[in-house]
Structure 1
């Protein structure tokens, strides 16, 4: 069985996009997606090692982030993420609608497995799955294709004991949520967010698009009936190949017409 590691943001000196701007794009999305906390922005030396570039390149990327107001650099203390102005929008949808949508996507697309297997949980994944950093979890990394063209890059993570209940975990073309449902895992709820982001070099290569092109980022944390996380998923969709639709219906309208609530039907 193949083992996978956490993807390392890559820069490509052969691209027309300057190295500092590639680094800036990756760091900006990490900040906006919560990868870096206010006290955990890597040092310049760490970033040089991560990206394999010079300190001058890192300094220029950090300068761009500072100009944009995403970070603040304090002499003798380090670099910190500023407060985000983005306010999450939360609404309730039907889990049955989500399951139907996931099943439909699985039936309408093809899956190309990039790698997968059991591996130690990173700090980020451990936080989502409520396990210890380094605990063994199961992960898959795949692209979804439509008519042979990539439309999404999807990474899913599940606890080890949950993965052991999935007979097709290494070969199934079904989305992970569908596999959980088919295996009898009592899926009770899911917290899902959809945001806009841009393609870093690694994502651009996987989705056959240009670096910096707008894409859609979907994250989903799935819980069972005991409120235990059983899947953490991140998906990056090509904005030109993905559409999210919701139909809103009115319910709870009283006779006086004064009280009404809206819910998503699909």
Structure 2
């Protein structure tokens, strides 16, 4: 059972599904602060579940501090306390922006160990079967709020140049550069996954909540793998943006990302 700010997601698939749907609607602005949610009977009819199931979902939202029950008004969306954490990155300049976040935010090292490279990681880093990697799991925070969960794999021969204490206090890329590694290129993908019990608790969210998933594999000029990164981001605390221009003539008009302007903004 995942915990967020001291509250537990409801047990049972139906109650958890309703809880996650309502939670995402509230965080996404569908229900504004001060607005009353539909009554339990209406919610039960709309979602095809019992009022008991709806009540359990609402109880979890109350525990999260997202709603409160008011006599005569029903269940009302609460106004957020404090300044919410919401980092934004332009997709066109994502790499330097993520590096800047690493410099400006704080990190908490959750685990550090040397393990045999998982098959997918070993293949991506061009390692031999049985080769070992240094696996580290870190939580990155802004204003004491977790926004990303980072799992990195670095070949053992490279990782031996820094210690667990180094990784706990210094961004990984800075450590790799100190070793004299020449980064040549990287392959990066972005998708979406659901939070697991292992990732939900550190990110202060619930099991089954949607997360932005970013995978990056970094190589040197010889094609040797340097780093495999699996990063998870809370979408309510981290967003990816991209500016597009409409270009071309007549039937050939299409959308293109604005790389030049984004790069110029990042450099200022």
Q: Provide the TM-score with structure 1 as the length reference.
A: 0.57
The structural deviation recorded for 1:21 is 11
- Structure 1 segments, 4+ long, off by >4 Å, are 19-22, 247-251, 260-263
Alignment-derived partner of residue 259 in structure 2: 264
The structural deviation recorded for 1:249 is 7.3
The structural deviation recorded for 1:169 is 5.5
Alignment-derived partner of residue 228 in structure 1: 224
Alignment-derived partner of residue 240 in structure 1: 236
Change (3 A) 1:217 1:16: same
SS at match of 2:238: coil
Alignment-derived partner of residue 177 in structure 1: 173
Whole-Å separation in 2 of the counterparts to 1:203 and 1:18: 20
The structure richer in helix per residue is: 2
* Aligned residue pairs, count: 179
CA RMSD, Structure 1 to Structure 2 (Å): 3.5
Whether 1:196 aligns to 2:192 is yes
The structural deviation recorded for 1:179 is 2.7
**CA displacement, residues 233-255 of structure 1 (integer Å, 9 cap, x when unaligned):** 0011111110223345799x9xx
Alignment-derived partner of residue 149 in structure 2: 153
Whole-Å separation in 1 of the counterparts to 2:100 and 2:256: 28
Q: Pick from 206, 209, 219: which aligns with 2:202?
A: 206
Whole-Å separation in 2 of the counterparts to 1:103 and 1:122: 26
Where do 5+ consecutive residues of structure 2 fail to align?
Answer: 17-90, 263-268
The structure with the larger Rg is 2
Whether 1:16 aligns to 2:1 is no
The structural deviation recorded for 1:98 is 4.9
The structural deviation recorded for 1:108 is 2.3
Whole-Å separation in 1 of the counterparts to 2:120 and 2:15: 25
Q: Pick from 213, 217, 227: which aligns with 1:217?
A: 213
Please say if residues 102 and 178 of structure 1, whose CA atoms lie closer than 8 Å, have aligned partners that are also in contact.
no
1:67-106 correspondence to structure 2 within 5 Å: 97-106=93-102
Q: Provide the TM-score with structure 2 as the length reference.
A: 0.56
Where do 5+ consecutive residues of structure 1 fail to align?
Answer: 1-9, 23-92
Please say if residues 244 and 256 of structure 2, whose CA atoms lie closer than 8 Å, have aligned partners that are also in contact.
no
The structural deviation recorded for 1:99 is 4.7
**CA displacement, residues 91-141 of structure 1 (integer Å, 9 cap, x when unaligned):** xx88xx455223211122110000113222122221122213331211111
Q: RCO greater where, 1 or 2, for CA within 8 Å and sep 6 or more?
A: 2
Please say if residues 137 and 152 of structure 2, whose CA atoms lie closer than 8 Å, have aligned partners that are also in contact.
yes
Whole-Å separation in 2 of the counterparts to 1:103 and 1:244: 15
Change (3 A) 1:19 1:246: closer
Please say if residues 120 and 135 of structure 1, whose CA atoms lie closer than 8 Å, have aligned partners that are also in contact.
yes
SS at match of 1:193: strand
Please say if residues 2 and 197 of structure 2, whose CA atoms lie closer than 8 Å, have aligned partners that are also in contact.
yes
Whole-Å separation in 2 of the counterparts to 1:106 and 1:169: 17
Change (3 A) 1:244 1:15: closer
Whole-Å separation in 2 of the counterparts to 1:145 and 1:262: 29
